[in-house]
Amino acid sequence: MIKVIFLGFGNVNSSLFNALYKTDKITVKQIYSRNYIKFISPFEHIPFTDDISKIEDADIYIIGIPDDAISSFSESLSFQNRLVVHTSGGAAMNVLSSKNRRGVFYPLQTFSKQRKVDFKNIPICIEAENSKDLELLQNLGKLISGNVVEISSEKRAKLHLAAVFVNNFVNHLYEIGSDILKGENLPFELLQPLIAETASKIESLSPEEAQTGPAKRNDKKTIEKHLHLLANSTHKKLYELFTEQLNQKYGKEL
Ligand SMILES: NC(=O)c1ccc[n+]([C@@H]2O[C@H](COP(=O)([O-])OP(=O)(O)OC[C@H]3O[C@@H](n4cnc5c(N)ncnc54)[C@H](OP(=O)(O)O)[C@@H]3O)[C@@H](O)[C@H]2O)c1
């Protein structure tokens, strides 16, 4: 049995808890959060504390709190020489206090508390200071995912950067699409099959092969029309920037 304690209980740690709790190789020894959490059935028996000095003994401590709080929080833990990991893509392993054995357990996915996710295909990027701890993290990861990879802090920072482009920025583009439709009283659902196919087609085509649209086709008339229709100046700038990028990429003069 691997004894796990969750430190912080936001989007990531609550998702990890739901996935790990189901396996019979894990004991969730305790959950720590600054604010009281009322667990509902069947979790009401899970030990909880909001007192950092009452955190118990465990094999792995998983810190799931905002990146800029990880360092000082890990320093404030009262124990030493135990395996403490964070779940961040962007933070290096060494932001953790060196008084404990450090590691990373980064699930490369977008998590929101309101949504249950299936971890089976989620890459779990791990890192540790010694091979025994790495093996323990590997074993923990394998309980929930078929894709556990060792990745250094430097490479993980780049992976996280790429993830911001394909997730956060793309999601912001959905927001822009939604705003444009709202202005015409059109439902966002009209775009959903297109969004689903855009994501699905890159499973069999490269992003370059999958690209279509007026910028790639060098359709000047449509581009001019779109720029004319855009009322929001920031959206206009983004449209121009993307069009310019695509033009450079596909080598057609606009
Ligand atoms: N969300 C994602 O999609 C995602 C994906 C992969 C990795 N990550 C990484 O996972 C980590 C957690 O992200 P998250 O989205 O789960 O965060 P989150 O939902 O915002 O959760 C934050 C948790 O941290 C606690 N917290 C905030 N500041 C704290 C502090 N100074 N000391 C102690 N606890 C504090 C909050 O407790 P209170 O309720 O008391 O404020 C809450 O339980 C981050 O490192 C993030 O980069 C996030």
Per DSSP, what are the bridge partners of residue 28?
A: 4
Atom in ligand 1 nearest the alpha carbon of residue 73: 32
Please report the domains of the chain, with CATH numbers, ordered by start residue.
2-151 (3.40.50.720), 156-250 (1.10.1040.20)
φ, ψ (nearest 5 deg) of residue 135: -65, -40
Q: Tell me, what's the pLDDT at 113?
A: 85
Contacts of 79 by beta carbon, 8 Å cutoff, 6+ apart = 55, 100
For residue 56, give both structure tokens.
């118990």
Centre of ligand 1 from the C-alpha of residue 17, in Å: 14
- How many other CB atoms sit within 10 Å of the CB of residue 148? 19
For residue 53, give the DSSP letter. Answer: G
pLDDT value, residue 254: 45
Q: Are 130 and 138 in contact (CB under 8 A)?
A: no
Query: How many angstroms separate the CA atoms of 19 and 113, rounded?
Result: 13
Series of mean pLDDT values for 10-residue runs along the chain (254 residues): 96 95 93 90 90 97 98 98 98 98 98 91 98 98 98 98 97 97 97 98 96 93 97 96 93 56
90 Cα nearest atom in ligand 1: 47
d(CA 98, CA 26): 26
Probe target for ligand 1 pocket from 5, 34, 36, 108, with the most ligand atoms within 8 Å of CB: 34
Query: Can you tell me which atom of ligand 1 is nearest the CA of 108?
Result: 6
**CB of residue 69 inside a 6 A radius of ligand 1:** yes
Cβ count near 251 (within 10 Å): 7
Please tell me what DSSP assigns to residue 98: T
Binding site membership of 71 for ligand 1 (Cβ less than 6 Å): no
State the Cα–Cα distance between residues 59 and 246, nearest whole angstrom.
49
**Whose alpha carbon is nearest atom 21 of ligand 1?**
10
Whether ligand 1 lies within 6 angstroms of the CB of 10 is answered as: yes
